[in-house]
């Protein structure tokens, strides 16, 4: 599939699917985020709909990555951070949940591919083993399934036991996606997953996300507005720690309701 056809389908899909079908997977209300005394997110409220791709765009330092890291509570690994406000996953408060259980349900793929210094197989199997998700005998099948879902199986099937570092950058990132998929997350958060990749590897990842949204809810932070336009059903625009607006991707890119969004999209700043 080429980028051009994807743009069409993503632009037409939300209209066709209609808002009636949408189910709120994640619901964020009045979220404030503090790093020490400095506030970096202000009163962010938004809904992330099930089986849709939600893209978050905005200039560097606007808080979109921070926002993503709230959704699986990864921000807690940094000392001195604090949040106010609520985040509900299927109606349940994520801050009341067990953090490891939450992270299993809400997977994450990082900006830079970060496979473990282990074999391809063991990278994918890691989450299964750590969470005790399946018996030893079932692991090979589960690994194959995840690699297939990440569209990597055919490229690696003959050298599963080689180091993950023998793969190219784009393959490594798909391996990280496979690793995240292995624990069967309900939501997949991607923090600029293709910013370090060439266009061909990028388009592979985009195709993959398109496939994945059938079974998964996806939130992706991207610097690249064309990428948001190509793949996202809904797009939110962040600026200086605030969510300026979020709407269907077509609406955001064709007639945004806020002046700042239009200025950013048309390249007047950022």
Partner 1 sequence: MSRLARRNVIGRAMFALTGLSMFVTVSSLFFILGYLIWHGFRSINFAFFTQLPKPPGELGGGMANAIAGSAELILIATLIGAPVGFFAGVYLSEFGGRKFSFVVRYVTDLLNGVPSIVVGIFAYSLVVVPLGHFSIFAGGFALSVIFIPIAVRTTEQFLQGVPQSFREAALALGAPKWKAIATVVVPAAFGALATGMLLALARVAGETAPLLFTSFSNQFWNLSPNEPAASLPVMIFTYAISPYKDWHRQAWAAGLVLLALVLFINISARLLLPRRAPR
Buried b / exposed e across 56-70, counting CB within 10 Å, b at 16+?
bbbeeebbbbbbbbb
Among the listed residues 19, 91, 117, 267, the single contact to partner 1 using CB under 8 A? 117
Q: What value does the CA radius of gyration of the chain take, rounded to a whole number of Å?
A: 18
- Asked if residue 149 binds partner 1 (CB under 8 A), the reply is no
Stretch that binds partner 1, among 3-11, 44-52, 135-143, 177-185 (CB under 8 A): 177-185
Residues in a beta bridge with 53: 218
Q: Where does residue 155 rank: exposed (0-12), middle (13-18), buried (19+ CB within 10 A)?
A: middle
Task: Go through the chain and tell me how many residues it has.
Answer: 270
The residue (of 188 and 265) whose beta carbon lies closer to partner 1 is 188
Q: What is the DSSP string of 130-164?
A: HTT-S-GGGHHHHHHHHHHHTT-HHHHGGGTTSBG
Under rule CB under 8 A, residue 103 binds partner 1: yes
Among 1, 9, 84, 112, binds partner 1 (CB under 8 A): 112
- Single residue of 118, 145, 223, 242 touching partner 1 by CB under 8 A: 118
Bridge partners of 46, per DSSP, are 28
Contact between 254 and partner 1 by CB under 8 A: the answer reads no
Task: For CA atoms 77, 213, 97, 123, give the dihedral sign.
Answer: negative
Which sign, positive or negative, has the C-alpha torsion 16, 47, 72, 112? positive
Closer to partner 1 by Cβ: residue 108 or 120: 108
To partner 1, the closest distance from the beta carbon of 103 in angstroms equals: 4
Closest to partner 1 by CB, 3 vs 133, is: 133
Are residues 209 and 220 in contact, defined by beta-carbon separation less than 8 angstroms?
yes
Q: Is residue 52 a contact partner of residue 97, using CB atoms and an 8 Å limit?
A: no
Answer yes or no whether residue 174 interacts with partner 1 by CB under 8 A: no
Token pair of 8, please?
């069409």
Residue 104 touches partner 1, criterion: CB under 8 A: yes
**Options 1, 15, 23, 130; binder of partner 1; rule CB under 8 A:** 130
Interaction between residue 108 and partner 1 (CB under 8 A): yes
Interaction pattern, residues 154-173, with partner 1; x per rule: CB under 8 A? -----------x--------
Question: What does the binding site for partner 1 look like in residue numbers (CB under 8 A)?
Answer: 72, 74, 77, 79, 100-101, 103-104, 107-108, 110, 112, 114-118, 126-127, 129-131, 165, 176, 179-180, 183
């Amino acid at each position: 599939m080429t980028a051009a056809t994807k743009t069409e389908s993503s632009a037409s899909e939300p209209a066709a699917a209609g808002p009636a079908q949408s189910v709120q997977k994640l619901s964020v209300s009045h979220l404030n985020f503090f790093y020490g005394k400095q506030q970096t997110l202000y009163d962010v409220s938004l809904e992330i709909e099930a089986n849709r791709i939600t893209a978050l765009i905005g200039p560097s330092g606007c808080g979109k990555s921070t926002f993503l890291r709230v959704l699986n509570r990864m921000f807690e690994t940094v000392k001195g951070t604090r949040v106010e406000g609520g985040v509900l996953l299927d109606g349940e408060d994520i801050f009341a949940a067990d953090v490891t259980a939450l992270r299993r349900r809400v997977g994450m793929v990082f900006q830079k591919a970060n496979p473990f210094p282990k074999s391809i197989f063991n990278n994918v199997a890691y989450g299964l083993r750590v969470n005790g998700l399946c018996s030893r005998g079932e692991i090979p099948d589960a690994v194959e399934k995840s690699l297939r879902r990440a569209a990597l199986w055919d490229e690696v099937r003959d050298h599963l036991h080689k180091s993950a570092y023998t793969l190219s950058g784009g393959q490594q990132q798909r391996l990280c996606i496979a690793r995240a998929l292995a624990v069967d997350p309900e939501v997949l958060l991607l923090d600029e997953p293709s910013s370090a990749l060439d266009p061909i590897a990028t388009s592979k990842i985009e195709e993959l996300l398109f496939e994945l949204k059938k079974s998964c809810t996806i939130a992706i932070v991207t610097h690249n507005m064309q990428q948001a336009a190509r793949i996202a059903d809904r797009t939110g625009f962040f600026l200086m720690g605030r969510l300026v607006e979020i709407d269907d991707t077509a609406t955001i890119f064709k007639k945004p309701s806020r002046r700042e969004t239009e200025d950013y999209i048309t390249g007047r700043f950022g």
